[in-house]
Structure 1
Amino acid sequence: MRILVIEDEIRLAEFVCQGLTQAGHVADRADNGATGLELAATTEYDAILLDLMLPGQNGLEVLRNLREFGVPTPVIIVSALSGTGHVIKGLDAGAVDYLRKPFEFDELLARLRALQRKTATVPTLRLHDLTLDPVLRHVTRAGQPLSLTNREFALLELLLRSPGRVVTKTRMAEKVWDVDFDMGSNVIEVHVSQLRRKLDRAFPDLPPLLETVVGHGYRLRAAAPTA
């Protein structure tokens, strides 16, 4: 998942973003409501973690503005305001969940998994002999489990959601890396090469699935491959 963390407590925000990254997510951060609103309105996120007590535009104002702008991204409020009234206001404003501070990080991850299950239109992605479960983070080819890094998993999931269609490097950077990604680097090529090694080269008796479309990007074969 690509997640936006709108939190003005710098140490907490850094801790959450680091934990999300280690759990296989992509995390961007904003330390005030205006910046968070701008990022949420211009970037495609799978979820937003929103503090309520923000400088300038508070969390409820950010949430209401997002909904007025037609941004449907699920929002989980994460706040020290723990009274029932605050929870009701947050949920009525359009949040899907409310997590009180302080919280255990494992609980946050569990709530994100629950959100992912609710919003997943295809619980398990399949293409030919390849399967990927985005919630359990389990991948197999020809019945054999694949051990992928977090980035490799995210790249494969992105490709599997568009079988047969070219996914550009720009799209990969937007979905798998954070907003500060350097498009001039060869990081994407390196990760795609590692993914191809595990997905195709590890199965020399099976037809390759991952294709490079020179000058455009990468894709998974949608038509049944032949050896």
Structure 2
Amino acid sequence: MHILIIEDEIGISNFLKQGLEEENFTVSTSNNGLEGLEKTFNNKIDLILLDWMMPRMNGLEVCKAIRAQNNSVPILFLTAKDTVLETIEGLKAGANDYIKKPFSFEELLERIKIHFRENKEISILTLGNIKLNKDLFQVFVNDVEVSLTQREFELLAYLIKNKGKVCTRNAIIEDVWDIHFEYDTGVIDVFMNAIRKKLNLTKDQDLIKTIRGVGYIANDK
């Protein structure tokens, strides 16, 4: 597994690099945001440790730029910031997790292992004749690629990941839209209609069923 450390404090960067290499990870480093972003785009990176405050581009800007390219690589912020609002800002920018400085190497290592476990088995999702590649942001029906918007892709991935389970409207709004207050869930129907049309899902296939008044369920059939 290839980890990229984007950290302008050379001492911290070298310490982390040595420790992670002793754990048999491949490690690259960058001491500024712009260079780190270039390395992300030019290499196969499996996880990024990203400092918040850096020259040229700060961590928040780097994170947003990575997500703007539909790159789902796990990003863990290394930050001295400790307010709730700043933490939320980082997560909204697309970070998967954060750890506050100073931290123990053992805690960081466990966080890294957790994210590798979470991402190991879910890169390729399948539902009947549908195949979804989360890493490459691609969807295929009978091996023919279909173009979805980002929200359509996220909704389809969520349903497939939870296939066999009823996904309620409230759960979808919270987990896919990241909205945690009362909201008109009718917007989900608009996206579901678009997904079914693009994937040519007929009622006879029943790969994604509507549970009236509740939500949806995906099943292989």
TM-score (norm 2): 0.54
Q: Alignment identity in percent?
A: 40
**Once superposed, which parts of structure 1, at least 4 consecutive aligned residues long, lie more than 6 Å away?**
none
Alignment of 1:160-171 (within 5 A): none
Unaligned 5+ segments in structure 2 are 123-221
Distance 2:118 2:9 in 1: 29
Query: SS of 1:27's equivalent?
Result: strand
- Give the aligned partner of residue 76 of structure 2: 76
Please give the alpha-carbon distance, in whole angstroms, between the structure 2 residues aligned to 1:88 and 1:99: 13
* Cα shift readout 1:69-104 (whole Å, capped 9, x = no counterpart): 222211000111121111101111100001000000
1:112 and 1:90 map into 2 onto residues whose CA distance is: 17
Partner SS for 2:98 = strand
Secondary structure at 2:53 match in 1: coil
Distance 1:99 1:38 in 2: 24
- Contact 1:41–1:71 under 8 Å retained in 2: no
What amino acid maps onto 1:33 in structure 2?
Answer: G
Unaligned 5+ runs, structure 1: 123-227
The DSSP-based 3-state class of the residue aligned with 1:102 is coil
TM-score by length of 1: 0.53
Q: 1:5-154 counterparts in 2 under 5 A?
A: 5-121=5-121
Aligned residues: 122
Distance (whole Å) between structure 1 residues aligned to residue 99 and residue 40 of structure 2:
20
Distance in structure 2 (CA, Å) of the matches to 1:86 and 1:15: 26
Q: What secondary structure is seen at the aligned counterpart in 2 of 1:82? A: coil
Which residue of structure 1 aligns with residue 138 of structure 2?
none
Aligned counterparts of 1:37 and 1:16: Cα–Cα separation in 2: 19
- Output one character per residue of 1:11-46: Cα deviation in whole Å (capped at 9) or x when no partner: 000000000000111110000000000001111111
CA contact (8 A) 1:32 1:57 kept: yes
- Residue 71 of structure 2 aligns to a residue whose secondary structure is coil
